[in-house]
A and B are shown apart, each in its own frame.
Chain A
Amino acid sequence: MSEQTIQDKIKANFMNAVLKSSKFTKDEVESILVAMSTSMKADKMAESILKSIGGNANEDT
């Protein structure tokens, strides 16, 4: 059980690809990782990532 879980493998693959992409800043990547590592429900997780990638309409429009 000490080896990497399936979820961890998926998350690691995903974060590696996000890190390699030029679309995201370091802060954004960190915020995404934090949001994905919490036990938030999907709605809250989406909200949190939305804030970090700057697409929050409530704040900006």
Chain B
Amino acid sequence: MKILNLHIQRFRGIVDLKLNFNGENAVIFGPNGVGKSAVVDAVDFLLRGEVSRLTGEGTGDVSTAKHGPHIDNPPEKARIMATIQSATGKIFAVERTVAQKDRVIIDPAFSSDFNDMVAYAQSGAHCLARRELLRYILTTPSTRSQQIQMLLDIADTKTVRDALLKLKKTTASTLKSIEDSLERYSSDLRTKVGAKSDDQFLEKINSLRAVLGGDALASINENSFINGLLYSDTKENTEIASYIRNLEELEKYIPTLRPTLQEKLQNVQDVVQKIENENTSIENINYISLIKLGLELLDGTGRCPLCLHEWASEIELRQILQERKETSESLSTLLDIYQNSIAAVLKEISAYESKIGVLSHQLTKWDNGCAAILESELKLIAAASFPDNNKYENFSKVQELVITVINQSPDLLLSLIQKQMAVLCSLFDENSKAKSDAWQTLNVANELLIKIGELSKKLPVFKLAAEKAVFLLETYDDSQAAVLNDLFTSISDRFTEFYKALHIDDEKDFSAVLNKDGAGINMSVDFYGKGQFPPMAFHSEGHQDSMGIALFFALMEKLTASESGLVVLDDVVMSVDIEHRKNYCKLLKSFFPEHQFIITTHDTVWARNLVNEGVVNRKNSIQFLSWNVTEGPIIIIGQDVWKTTRAKANIDLHGTSAFFRREMECFFENVCHKLHARVRYNNVHKWDYGQYMNAAYKELQDLIKKALRLARGFNKTEAINQLETLSSTLRALLTAVNAENWVTNVLIHYNQDYEISKAEFLAAVDALEKFCQCFECSRCYTTISALYTGETPVMLTCKCGSYAHPLEK
């Protein structure tokens, strides 16, 4: 797609501006704050219905809807109109207003052509700004990956991969949980019936059944352990039996509690002592704990569990957290040990609490003092169950409570429990108790067996789901690798080619490698044959800018099926020097002849280079001179230094004189470059306007002489006339220039006490305009150039061929 013309009304500082690009490259230049970027915004808005600069991170309350219209204008009056030429050559009009920014006004017959361009623009490939260059080059693999994925329109592949990764984790975790439950239930089942092995299991079940008068089961796979059993007792008896069982369990447990707690507390105290020896602050301990928690909470989606920022690569986020954790590895290890050991202490307390359970309430009816002491035990240990009791900072509180438990003698409690059991046992006979125990054990065992059966049945389903999830993720990674590896190889090759074109003089053997590493994209570049390094390692800022441009072009190419496309380059060559800018021009001309580039810059020299090098036609050189709120930007179309100078002369003659001298210096420097003119050497490598002009004049006259000699030899009348006229005009105009040129002398224009009249200044401008025209083709406006073969000039030429004079036989 190309823009033939663009009409911007009441939008982003522009009141009413018409630009006729005619589908060709254009340069928009001028100082800061004159409305250049508003043109970039207008193109962006026309294509996407949004202005990139007004959306996204850091824009706060600013929005296209509110801040798109020029100040004090309603959104319906802020509109962009354009005549577009599609890649297939169709021409149509498009219009979009800020009031209805999601809708374009277009002949439906062309909607599909325009939508292709919109899709291309949604990825950001229509515009490159300098801030984006940095995101390609001076960045982490994940940020680069995000930027590249967005540009290549493959950001959704991350969503799919994240989904499949999550699927794999979920199915694996469900499977593990089922397997763990199966193992736990099986172990609980053996413990419950008192079987040390599977062999003993059936025997134990049958002996329990025998207590209840039941037949022996032939196998544990029979329907139920309580099959054919009849057991009934009064509610009270059932309750009493249950209380006795609980008291028996407590009686066995209490003697082991204190030594176990003592041992486990000692482990914590040892590790706390080691942490204290590290001499660190509680803040640092909390920080490391947070990092460790963050690592535990990573769920495979790449989302930071703390700030919810989505990383392109969870691997990278994990790596960063891991690195931070490892910087305090010994402390981190000690904190791990602390966590495990304090958890063991708290688990023991919790086990004790659950064993006491609600016994104190249940025993009230037959209480002999046991309920009250159990209640006080509960109160004591419940104090340890406060929020964050496992945190390092809360250790002293937990330690104090545990020591209180340890120091309290269990003797009284144990004797009361025994007495309580005696009271309860006297309430019914031993046989009843044995039957109740057997019935309870068989029922619990039966429940466990049912659970085991259900889980065993489902296990293969979950196993298969987990296998499928692994297969899906691996297959997706393989599919992605197959497509992206080829893609990245071709991008690397093209990037290298573009970069070499930009740095043909100093890095002709450059090479680069771009590869996908997990969800990130690594980039390494050759540094003068010394090896592959990250781009920011040794290369200068200018070289890095070149890499950004080269990579953008390499990526952009992958998005356009056709060879034509619109690209806005928003001030992207700031750090590139003059020689490399010329290579940049060659790159645009030779690799992208069918693209339309709209280039903005605040550098007038660069704008002139683009015209002189033939990238931009002079009539598409648009200078933004100034801006005011009522009129918007004041512009000059056609990069006319003469018009600009004359307009400026009305305001400040001395300033304009300096400006004009600088313009002429640039002009003749470029002529010298084109003609390979010999400027008298100096060791500071700095030449002024006069030196450039004289060298350019002499060189052109010498080349004309050579060309004339050949033209006369072949009797080429037309060429002879053209060359003789040019030579004599040059000679005559040089005399006029020399007569008027004193006003551009530095001693004059830097001297405020010296009066220059406007007439005197304009006379010099007139003389120089005519003189300068001699160095350009009057048809294509490009500078007349000398083509060289080695050290020999072979042709005097211009872009359109109006000048094509051989200099050698």
Contacts and interface: CB of A to CB of B under 8 A. Distances in A.
A43 interface: yes
A26 interface: no
Contacts of B484: 6, 10
Contacts of B166: 42-43, 46
B162 to A, nearest CB: 4
B466 A42 contact: no
Main secondary structure of the interface of A (DSSP, over half): helix
Q: Find the residue from A18, A21, A42, A60 having the highest chain B CB count within 10 A.
A: A42
Interface string B469-501: 101100110111011100100000000000000
B153 interface: yes
Contact of A6 (B177, B471, B487): B487
B468 A1 contact: no
Contacts of A61: 174, 178, 455, 458
A10 B467 CA distance: 21
B364 interface: no
Interface residues of B, number: 47
Nearest to B482: A13
A30 B35 CA distance: 53
A13 B468 CA distance: 17
B467 A23 contact: yes
A57 B156 contact: no
A47 to B, nearest CB: 9
B472 A18 contact: yes
B465 interface: yes
A6 B119 CA distance: 14
Contacts of A42: 159-160, 162-163, 166, 301
A39 B484 CA distance: 22
Interface in A20-61: 21, 23-24, 28, 32, 35-36, 40-43, 45-46, 49-50, 53-55, 57, 60-61
A55 B458 contact: no
A55 B171 contact: yes
B479 A46 contact: no
Contacts of B177: 57
B469 A10 contact: no
A23 B164 CA distance: 16
A13 B483 contact: yes
Contact of B478 (A17, A24, A40): A17
A24 B458 contact: no
B152 A6 contact: yes
Contacts of B558: 6
Contacts of A11: 160, 479
Contacts of A21: 471, 475
Main secondary structure of the interface of B (DSSP, over half): helix
A11 B170 CA distance: 22
B167 interface: yes
A10 to B, nearest CB: 5
B116 A2 contact: yes
Contact of B466 (A17, A18, A55): A55
Contacts of A57: 170, 174, 177, 462
B157 A55 contact: no
B561 interface: yes
A40 B561 CA distance: 28
Interface in B402-461: 455, 458, 461
Contacts of B471: 21, 23
Nearest to A3: B561
A6 B154 contact: yes
B120 interface: yes
B523 to A, nearest CB: 19
B560 interface: yes
Nearest to B299: A43
B216 interface: no
B160 A6 contact: no
Interface string B120-159: 1000000000000000000000000000000011101101
B464 interface: yes
A45 B178 CA distance: 24
A7 B157 contact: yes
A12 B290 CA distance: 42
A1 B120 contact: yes
A45 B479 CA distance: 19
A41 B162 CA distance: 9
A3 B461 CA distance: 40
A49 B156 contact: no
B167 A46 contact: yes
Contacts of B301: 42-43
A49 B152 contact: no
Given A2-B116, A50-B465, A45 B159 contact: yes
A6 B558 CA distance: 9
A14 B475 contact: yes
B159 to A, nearest CB: 5
B709 to A, nearest CB: 56
Contacts of A54: 461, 464-465
Contact of A49 (B153, B472, B483, B561): B472
Q: Find the residue from B301, B455, B461, B475 having the highest chain A CB count within 10 A.
A: B475
29 contacts: A1-B119, A1-B560, A1-B561, A5-B153, A6-B484, A6-B558, A7-B157, A10-B480, A13-B483, A14-B475, A14-B476, A17-B475, A21-B471, A21-B475, A23-B468, A24-B468, A36-B160, A36-B163, A40-B163, A42-B159, A43-B166, A45-B159, A46-B167, A49-B167, A50-B167, A53-B167, A55-B466, A57-B462, A60-B461
Interface of B: 116, 119-120, 152-154, 156-157, 159-160, 162-164, 166-167, 170-171, 174, 177-178, 301, 455, 458, 461-462, 464-469, 471-472, 475-476, 478-480, 482-484, 487, 558-562
Given A7-B154, A36-B160, 7 more contacts: A1-B559, A6-B558, A24-B468, A36-B163, A49-B472, A50-B465, A61-B178
For the complex of A and B, the 9 pairs showing the least CB-CB separation, nearest first, are A55-B465, A42-B162, A45-B163, A13-B479, A46-B166, A14-B479, A1-B116, A42-B163, A46-B163
